[in-house]
């Protein structure tokens, strides 16, 4: 029976890296008054305006309920606006939100650049490709 070794396990390395990245992102976003889920929400909202609550939740990897109250806070801060015609509310960034996401995205890009500072461009693409292959392999139930 195969076992798991903490030192050689790719899964543990993945968790370590993900945790370090999240910690660095939190520190980077704190001056802007944003948490990581809030930033993720704004980022996706910037890329896909008019998205619904449920689709947004899937993009940030949280439940619809969590996204719901997350959006409540962002609307309170006047960073996102809700404009829906039917039953489903469609959200988009306010001008204030658009200004903030530019700075936040740059801050996160700097963190990501620091994380990848030891890798060349070809190695970065290789890492990205490997990660997506792993995600795809886990997706097949």
Partner DNA sequence: TGCCGCACGTCAAGATCCTGACACAGATGG
Partner DNA sequence: CCATCTGTGTCAGGATCTTGACGTGCGGCA
Q: Which of 88, 119, 127, 134 binds DNA (CB under 7 A)?
A: 88
* Whole-number Cα distances in Å, 28 to 36, 39, 85, 103, 107: 10, 11, 37, 11, 6
Q: Which of a second copy, DNA, none does residue 63 bind (CB under 5 to 8 Å by kind)? A: DNA
Q: Examine residue 88 and tell whether it contacts a second copy (CB under 8 A).
A: no
Q: Examine residue 135 and tell whether it contacts a second copy (CB under 8 A).
A: yes
Q: What secondary structure does DSSP assign to 74-132, as a single string? A: HHHTTSEEE--SSSS--EEE-HHHHHHHHHHHHHHHHHHHHHTTTS-HHHHHHHHHHHH
Q: Examine residue 116 and tell whether it contacts DNA (CB under 7 A).
A: no
Q: Which stretch binds DNA (CB under 7 A): 5-13, 63-71, 122-130, 133-141?
A: 63-71
Q: Examine residue 108 and tell whether it contacts a second copy (CB under 8 A).
A: yes
């Amino acid at each position: 029976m195969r076992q798991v070794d903490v030192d050689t396990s790719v899964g543990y390395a993945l968790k370590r890296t993900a945790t370090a990245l999240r910690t660095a992102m939190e520190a980077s976003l704190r001056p802007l008054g944003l948490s990581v889920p809030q930033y993720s929400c704004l980022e996706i909202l910037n890329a896909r305006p008019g998205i619904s609550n449920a689709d947004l939740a899937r993009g940030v990897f949280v439940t619809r309920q969590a996204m719901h109250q997350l959006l409540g806070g962002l609307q309170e801060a006047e960073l996102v606006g809700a404009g829906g015609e039917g039953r489903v509310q469609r959200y988009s960034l306010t001008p204030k939100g658009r200004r903030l996401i530019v700075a936040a995205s740059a801050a996160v890009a700097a963190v990501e650049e620091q994380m990848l500072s030891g890798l060349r461009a070809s190695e970065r693409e290789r890492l990205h490709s490997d990660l997506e292959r792993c995600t795809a392999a886990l997706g097949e139930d």
